Amino acid sequence: MQALTNRVKVLDQKPLTFKERLYLPAIFSGMLITFSHLFKKKATINYPEQKRPFSPVFRGLHILNRDEEGRERCTACGLCAVSCPAEAITMESAERQKGEEGLYREEKYAAKYEINMLRCIFCGLCEEACPKDAIYLTETFAPANYSRKSFIYGKPDLLIPDPTKEPEAFAKAQGGIKAHKEKVR
């Protein structure tokens, strides 16, 4: 058979020496390597009991933010969706009706807001593009799941708690936002 290149090497198959045929020296040197690792610092941790600190630039799951009165900040302008390179964000806008001023901060709001976490590359461009402080990436990551559908996060998954109803949970979520912003600054 003709070789395509001149890089072909003919390998010598030398017969095994007496020491190699015994196999025991090779087994002992392998065991020695294994035992020497018993006394070294472990490279692994007991997750989830122990957690490693995140990198300052880590970006995880998104949240939709509320203001101090519990109103949704998102005005469904679509800038986050337009800036998303992965086309992971979809939304449907709606007009705020009379009497809904306590629910939505602006005259328009996102009646439907979805992020496909399987598409998302966690680049943070949606957060950068938002003019209303309405979307943030946090230090939480999407839990594992068996179905693709469960990775499509809707408003109930993304909206942070209402401060008028759950002030502690809201403060916790807000604290996460502030800490994250300060880290990446």
Work out whether 63 is an interface residue with ligand SF4 (CB under 6 A). no
Give the one residue of 61, 63, 120, 158 binding ligand SF4; rule: CB under 6 A: 120
User: Which of 23-31, 36-44, 116-124, 144-152 is the region at the interface with ligand SF4 (rule: CB under 6 A)?
Assistant: 116-124
- DSSP character string of 27-54: HHHHHHHHHHHHTSPPS---TTTS-PPP
SS3 93: strand
Work out whether 135 is an interface residue with ligand SF4 (CB under 6 A). yes
Work out whether 115 is an interface residue with ligand SF4 (CB under 6 A). yes
Cα–chain center distance at 150: 15
Work out whether 122 is an interface residue with ligand SF4 (CB under 6 A). yes
Give the integer Cα–Cα distance in Å for 88 and 132: 19
Sign of the C-alpha dihedral computed for residues 84, 64, 122 and 112 taken in this order: negative
Residues that bind ligand SF4 (rule: CB under 6 A) add up to a total of 27
Nearest approach, Cβ of residue 45 and ligand SF4 (Å): 27
According to CB under 6 A, which residues from 67 to 86 bind ligand SF4? 74-80, 83-86
State which residue, 120 or 173, has the beta carbon closest to ligand SF4: 120
